[in-house]
Amino acid sequence: MLPFHVPHLTGREQSYVDQVFESGQFAGNGPWTNRVQAFLQSSLEAPHVLLTHSCTGALELAALLSGIGVGDEVILPSYTFCSTATAFLRTGATLVFCEVEHSTLNMDVHDALSRLTSRTRAIVPVHYAGLAPDMDALRQAAGSKGLRIVEDAAQALGVCWSGKALGTLGWAGAFSFHETKNVHCGLGGALALSCDADFERAEAIWERGTNRSKLFRGLVDKYTWVENGSSFYPTECQAAFLLAQLEAQQDIEERRRTLHDRYSLRLRPMADLGWLRTLAHDSRIRTNFHAVPVILQSASVCDALRQHLLRASIQAYIGYVPLHSSPMGLRLGYQSADLPATEDIAPRVLRLPIHTRMGVADVDIVCDSISDFFEHSAC
């Protein structure tokens, strides 16, 4: 079986975690957490980074910090993971779903901006597949209207837009270190913040609503409850594991690039034949090769291809079920017809396997099997 994903291991995670055991300090917000935060601050060129237990947590921290709540509107694509939505749903904000571009599966900025109202407070682009929507247009619109951009950069660690790290282009950016991402620690995440003024509050919200971090820095002599916070950080074991991965980020990216390049080479003739389509790649983006989504002509071809690959022991993965027409979305009052472009494309997306345990020969096996499907199947 060629699995869709296998979490990468560098071989150094265990020895770093052993060092946590030797130190006897496990709970988090300790030396390993600090090292990882400093590492990310420097690699992202971000003024502030807080390590979290997940990207879900990072988005929730951003939503709490933003003060966006009842009566406020947040614009986000429907084509995303549900955490993008729940972060703001739980602060009481109204979710305004927008379309994605068919060429990139990223936010359709034109459509997003057409949904602005006097109540809009934030726009949440989701950097799907290590790509991005037009961040220049988005930043310009947000800047002129005083809106916050919260980037869901869960899939975008290492991706640059015009030389600047995704996740640092807006007010806040949330990253994921879930084991399905390029760089991971089992479960983990981070929030990058661009504004100095918000950092003190962010840190308190992150520290269960206390100013304990100030105690560590010797700024207060006892710590106390100062914010409506929660418990957002991971353990020191996760931070240590993550540092080993972050140190190998370039190596991981290189390996994925080799596989991704091979996919591009092999899929291009199939695209020319009209069998499928790959995502367009804006020249301002330097990607991290997170995913290889292909778009088929219909939902039934997509499903038949997935079954065909599975019979050849290849695991491919479906795209997102749009949030607005999911069971929760319908319960919130959205209707499937609200977003026709998203409804049309979502069931036609198939993600092909890409992970560091694969070689170029595996990419060829996948692509041969796709060719075989189109040459010999009835559809």
Q: Where are the alpha helices (DSSP H) in 248-298?
A: 249-272
| Contact yes or no for 93/70 (Cβ under 8 A) | yes
| Contact yes or no for 314/344 (Cβ under 8 A) | no
| β-strand partners of 130 | none
**Size of interface with ligand PLP, in residues (CB under 6 A):** 14
| β-strand partners of 107 | 100
Q: Is the dihedral of CA 132, 138, 142, 143 positive or negative?
A: positive
Sheet with 172-176: list strands edge to edge: 48-52, 189-193, 172-176, 148-152, 120-123, 73-77, 94-98
Of 53-61, 142-150, 225-233, 339-347: span binding ligand PLP (CB under 6 A): 53-61
Quick check: helix, strand or coil at residue 145? helix
Of 148-156, 161-169, 335-343, 348-356: span binding ligand PLP (CB under 6 A): 148-156
Of 151-159, 164-172, 249-257, 334-342: span binding ligand PLP (CB under 6 A): 151-159
The angle that helices 249-272 and 360-376 make with each other, rounded to 10 degrees, is 20
Instruction: Determine which residue in the list 32, 79, 81, 88 makes contact with ligand PLP, applying CB under 6 A.
Output: 81
Of 33-41, 77-85, 98-106, 236-244: span binding ligand PLP (CB under 6 A): 77-85
Instruction: Determine which residue in the list 61, 62, 150, 154 makes contact with ligand PLP, applying CB under 6 A.
Output: 154
| Smallest distance, ligand PLP to C-beta of residue 237, A | 17
Instruction: Determine which residue in the list 29, 33, 66, 80 makes contact with ligand PLP, applying CB under 6 A.
Output: 80
Q: What are phi and psi of 290, to 5 degrees?
A: -70, -35
DSSP one-letter code for 226: -
Nearer to ligand PLP, 81 or 233 (CB): 81
Instruction: Determine which residue in the list 29, 37, 56, 78 makes contact with ligand PLP, applying CB under 6 A.
Output: 56
Enumerate residues 6+ apart whose C-beta is below 8 A from 272: none
Instruction: Determine which residue in the list 51, 123, 126, 191 makes contact with ligand PLP, applying CB under 6 A.
Output: 126
Instruction: Determine which residue in the list 33, 37, 176, 238 makes contact with ligand PLP, applying CB under 6 A.
Output: 176
Instruction: Determine which residue in the list 55, 202, 252, 294 makes contact with ligand PLP, applying CB under 6 A.
Output: 55
| Interaction residues for ligand PLP, span 202-221 (CB under 6 A) | none
* Listed residue (110, 119, 189) closest to 152, CA to CA: 189
- 293 belongs to the binding site for ligand PLP (CB under 6 A): no
Of 49-57, 218-226, 236-244, 355-363: span binding ligand PLP (CB under 6 A): 49-57
The DSSP element (H or E) to which 292 belongs, if any, is: strand 292-295
- Contacts to ligand PLP by CB under 6 A: 54-56, 80-81, 83-84, 126, 152, 154-155, 176, 178, 189
